[in-house]
Amino acid sequence: MAERWLSLSWWWACEARRGRSRRGSGRCSGLSVVRGRLFKSRERLEALLQDATAKEASYADFLDTLLAEEVASKTAKHVTMRTHLARFPFVKSLDTFDFSYQPSLDKKQLQTLSSCHFIEHGENVVFLGPPGVGKSHLAVGLGLKAIEHGYRVLFATAAGLITALTKAATEGRLEERLKLYTVPRLLIVDEIGYLPIDRAGANLFFQLISRRYERGPMILTSNQSFGSWGDVFGDPVIATAILDRVLHHAITINIRGNSYRLKDKLKAGLVKPVEATTT
Ligand code: ADP
Ligand code: MG
C-alpha cells in the first residue's frame, strides 16, 4: 500500500513539476487539478498526499478528501460573492439575533423559515413592527440563509427601489430595471412606510409586485400595519392591489416589543418598556 502511495506521489510530483515548467513557458499546466480550475486542490495537494501516504489511505478516500475540500472551498467563495451581490446594508446572521429580547417573536417559526422552504413554496414573508425591533436584521439573516441554500438574493429599501424605478422610467430603461429586481430568486424590500410614496412611485412598485407575484418570493418589512398602506402608497386602490398579491401566499410576523436601539436606556430605566404581545 505504501508503495502504491509512493508511486502515486511521485507521479503527482512529476506532473506538478511538468505543470510548473509549462506554466513558466506560458502554456497551460498539465496537472488536471490545475486544468480543471480546482484551485483549492492545487493548494492542498502536497499536504493531502503526505497525509494520505502516512495514513495509507485508499485512492478513493484520498480523492474523497480532496474533492470535499474543493467543494467546500467553492461553496464558500459562492456565498461570499452572492453576499456581496445581494447589497445588504449590513451582514448579520440569525445566530446573532437575541430572541430573548423580543418575546413576541416565535423563535421556532424563524428557525423553520431559515430552512428556506418558503422560497421553494413561493411564499412571501412580511415583518411588521415599530422601529428598532429587528425587522431588517431578520430580513438580512434570512437572506443570508437563502444564499447558503444557493439562491440569489437582492436587498433594497422601498425608497431606493422606487427612486431607481422612477429614474429608469424617465430614461426609457424601466424594463431593464424591473428585470434586475425580478431575476433574483429572493427580493428583500425593506422599510416600506418610512417615506411617503407618490402615485407614480406606487404604480411602479405595483408593476414590480405583479411581476414577482407567484413567481418570486419576497421579504418585506414595514413599520406600518396593512391598514395604513393606503396612506403609505398615497392611493388605497393601488395599496389594495399590492396587498392582494403580497398576502395571497404570505407569512406575516408582527413584532411587538421594545427597540433594541433603546436596550441600554431601558435597562437604565430612562424609557418605558412597551408591553409585548404574541402574534
Ligand atoms: P428595524 O429594522 O426593526 O428598525 P433593525 O433590524 O435595523 O430594526 O435593528 C436595529 C439594530 O438593532 C440593528 O443593529 C440590529 O442588528 C439590532 N437588533 C435589533 N433587534 C435585535 C435583537 N433582538 N438581537 C440582536 N440585535 C438586534
Ligand atoms: Mg430596519
Is 202 domain-assigned? yes
Statement to judge: residues 159 and 218 lie in one domain? yes
CA 54 to chain centroid, in Å, comes to 41
Same domain as 94, residue 7: no
Residues 240 and 196 in one domain: yes
> How many Å apart are CA 130 and CA 257, to the nearest integer?
8
Q: Pick from 89, 115, 82: which is nearest to 183 by CA?
A: 82
Ligand nearest to the Cα of 96, by number: 1
Instruction: Give the pLDDT score at 57.
Output: 87
> Are residues 148 and 235 part of one domain?
yes
The cell numbers describing 222, all together, are: 414595514
Give CA–CA dist 5/21, Å, rounded.
Answer: 24
Is residue 276 included in any domain, yes or no? no
Measured from the alpha carbon of residue 129, the closest ligand is: 1
What per-residue confidence (pLDDT) applies to 22? Answer: 46
Tell whether 109 and 49 lie within a shared domain: no
Per-residue model confidence (pLDDT) at position 29: 42
For residues 49 and 59, give the distance between their C-alpha atoms in angstroms, rounded to a whole number.
10
| Beta-carbon contacts of residue 245 (< 8 Å; ≥ 6 apart) | 209, 210, 213
Domain that holds residue 30: 2-80
- Domain contains 279: no
CA distance 161 to 189: 8
Give the count of beta carbons closer than 10 Å to the beta carbon of residue 46: 13
**Does residue 125 sit in the same domain as residue 29?**
no
273, part of any domain = no
**Strand-strand pairing, 153-157 and 186-192:** parallel
The string of DSSP letters for 67-110 reads HHHHHHHHHHHHHHHHHHHTT-SS---GGG--GGG-TTS-HHHH
Q: Give backbone dihedrals phi and psi of 188, rounded to 5 degrees, phi first.
A: -105, 125
What is the pLDDT, as a whole number, of residue 89?
98
Q: Do 127 and 97 form a contact (C-beta atoms < 8 A)?
A: no
Q: Which long-range contacts (CB under 8 A, 24 or more apart) does 176-183 make?
A: 178/207, 178/208, 178/211, 180/154, 181/154, 181/156, 181/208, 181/211, 181/212, 182/208, 182/211, 182/212, 182/215, 182/216, 183/152
Residue 21's contacts (CB-CB under 8 Å, 6 or more residues apart) are none
Is residue 134 lining ligand 1, measured as CB closer than 6 Å? yes
Residue 210 sits in the same domain as residue 226: yes
Same-domain pairing of 250 and 125: yes
Domain edge (last residue) among 80, 108, 126? 80
pLDDT of residue 271: 72
Beta bridge partners of 186: 153
Q: Which atom of ligand 1 is nearest to the CA of 98?
A: 24
What is the distance in A from the centroid of ligand 1 to the CA of 211? 30
Q: Ligand 1 within 6 A of 173 CB? A: no
**CA nearest ligand 1 atom 25, residue:** 97
Ligand (nearest to CA of 105): 1
pLDDT at 255: 96
DSSP annotation of 249:
T
CA angle 208, 212, 218 (to 5 degrees): 100
pLDDT, position 36: 59
* Ligand 1 geometric centre to CA of 259 (Å): 8
CA dist., res. 197 & res. 234, Å (int): 6
Which ligand 1 atom is the nearest neighbour of the CA of 133? 3
Ligand 1 atom nearest to CA at 191 = 2
> What is the residue type of 261?
R
Ligand 1 near 98 CB (within 6 A): yes
Block mean pLDDT (10 aa), the chain, length 279:
56 53 42 60 80 88 85 88 97 96 95 97 97 97 97 98 97 97 97 94 97 94 96 95 97 95 77 57
Is 212 touching ligand 1 by the criterion CB < 6 Å? no
- Both 233 and 165 in a single domain? yes
Q: Domain count for the chain, please give it.
A: 2
Does residue 94 sit in the same domain as residue 153? yes
- Please name which of 227, 261, 259 lies closest in space to residue 243, comparing C-alpha atoms: 227
